[in-house]
């Protein structure tokens, strides 16, 4: 237990201590090898050699992250080491040589989490997923530079992914139209999602979804109704959906009008009867629009944000909270908290707010940061990794 804690906080010190006392070596190695993250081909090769040389180390590894550019030079090393990791339950494998993924077909470990990606799709994606029936969390981070020239993978077999519950993907680089079978997903996170992407996944997974986190691309194909986040659920059937997080990114030439007439969504009451929370992240221009009163509003001068909140609470019977916060300017008084405007339903069913207060990101905190940072990386600000 002590070594596990030190492995999280002081890995270099722990590794050095083992060289001074050989008695500690087995316990130290068990802690050091439990979770491994590799970002260069040099260190990936060293790890594989260390495991192949002393194979007892392989049983310690529970989580492995290998995220490198290229990857051809480490293919043989991975081929020797990966099959030895019989206790591995979480694997992130991001490489640009798609033939490396075929190694997974010859491994006996049973993964609960698989994050797979790179610059080129693997043509045997379905076979790889079929070899891992225990996957509960699946993430696609393929970001092909020339997607039109790539073989487009399909995920349509009904006999695979029986335990899948969480799906994350770059919709702009791995179109979710590649997936055509309604797997039992309860938690969905998609980055760079277009109007068509959202319509597809809502229709495909709608009957099982409980939480949805979407980084939505608002572009030329969007209508004025797309301005409002609940417009995504028009004509949908989401009987179990409880929590929604929407982050809107506008295209450079897109400027949708903030209109009262487009707020209502016909059939929303029936589409999302269990929806409890909506969190909406917007840029500064949209936030400015939402603070303005509608030109035709009464003497109270109620702002557009409040009018929309009233529409949502009047339509959604289970709604507890609606939150709006500005994307990219979320700190207050140096405390690092995300602040926003929060509306809640009172006991007498009236709408309270807005109250400017820390946003309760809760389950969204890590995922929110991941979505924004990964979308930025896929748009050009890529992480600098060693090219193999």
**Are 236 and 271 a contacting pair, CB within 8 Å?**
yes
183 vs 201: CA distance, rounded Å = 11
DSSP state of 72: G
Question: What was the pLDDT predicted at 18?
Answer: 55
**pLDDT of 16:** 56
Chain-centroid distance of CA 307 in Å reads 31
- Report the distance separating Cα 39 and Cα 68, nearest Å: 5
Q: What residues of the chain score a pLDDT lower than 50?
A: 1-10, 13, 149, 330, 375, 378-388
pLDDT at 112: 98
Compute φ and ψ for 294, nearest 5 degrees: -70, 140
Cα separation, 10 vs 16, in Å, equals 10
Residues 138-161: pLDDT tens digits?
999 887 765 554 667 889 999 999
| Residues contacting residue 168 through CB under 8 Å, at least 6 positions apart | 137, 138, 139, 140, 188, 189, 190, 191
Q: What is the pLDDT of residue 15?
A: 54
Q: CA dihedral defined by 332, 336, 342, 347, rounded to 10 degrees?
A: -120
Whether the Cβ atoms of residue 270 and residue 236 lie closer than 8 Å to each other: no
- Which ranges constitute the DSSP H helices of 248-364? 268-271, 284-291, 304-315
- 45 three-state secondary structure: helix
């Amino acid at each position: 237990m002590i070594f596990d804690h030190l492995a999280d906080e002081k890995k270099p010190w722990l590794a050095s201590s083992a060289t001074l006392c050989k008695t500690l070596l087995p316990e130290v190695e068990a802690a050091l090898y439990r979770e491994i993250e590799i970002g260069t081909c040099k260190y990936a090769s060293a790890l594989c050699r260390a495991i192949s040389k002393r194979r007892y180390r392989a049983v310690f590894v529970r989580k492995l992250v290998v995220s490198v550019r290229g990857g051809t030079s480490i293919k043989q090393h991975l081929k020797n080491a990966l099959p030895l990791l019989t206790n591995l339950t979480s694997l992130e494998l991001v490489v640009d040589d798609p033939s490396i993924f075929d190694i997974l077909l010859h491994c006996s470990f049973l993964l609960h989490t698989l994050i797979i990606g790179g610059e080129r799709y693997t043509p045997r994606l379905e076979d790889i997923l079929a070899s891992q029936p225990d996957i509960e969390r699946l993430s696609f981070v393929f970001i092909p530079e020339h997607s039109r020239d790539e073989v487009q993978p399909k995920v349509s077999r009904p006999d695979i992914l029986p335990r899948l519950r969480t799906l994350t993907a770059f919709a702009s680089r791995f179109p979710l139209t590649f997936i055509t079978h309604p797997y039992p997903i309860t938690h969905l996170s998609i980055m760079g999602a277009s109007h068509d992407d959202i319509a597809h996944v809502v229709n495909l997974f709608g009957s099982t979804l409980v939480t949805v986190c979407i980084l939505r691309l608002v572009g030329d194909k969007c209508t004025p109704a797309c301005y409002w986040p609940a417009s995504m659920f028009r004509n949908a059937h989401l009987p179990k959906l409880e929590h929604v997080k929407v982050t809107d990114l506008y295209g450079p030439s897109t400027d949708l009008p903030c209109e009262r007439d487009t707020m209502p969504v016909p059939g929303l009451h029936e589409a999302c009867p269990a929806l409890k929370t909506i969190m909406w992240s917007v840029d500064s221009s949209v936030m400015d629009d939402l603070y303005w009163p509608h030109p035709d509003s009464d003497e109270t001068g109620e702002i557009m944000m409040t009018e929309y909140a009233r529409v949502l609470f009047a339509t959604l019977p289970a709604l507890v909270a609606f939150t709006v916060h500005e994307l990219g300017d979320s700190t207050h008084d140096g405390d690092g908290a995300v602040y926003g405007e929060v509306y809640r339903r009172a006991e007498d069913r009236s709408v309270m707010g807005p109250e400017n207060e820390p946003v309760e990101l809760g389950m969204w905190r890590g995922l929110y940061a991941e979505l924004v940072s990964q979308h930025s990386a896929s748009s050009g600000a890529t992480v600098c990794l060693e090219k193999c």
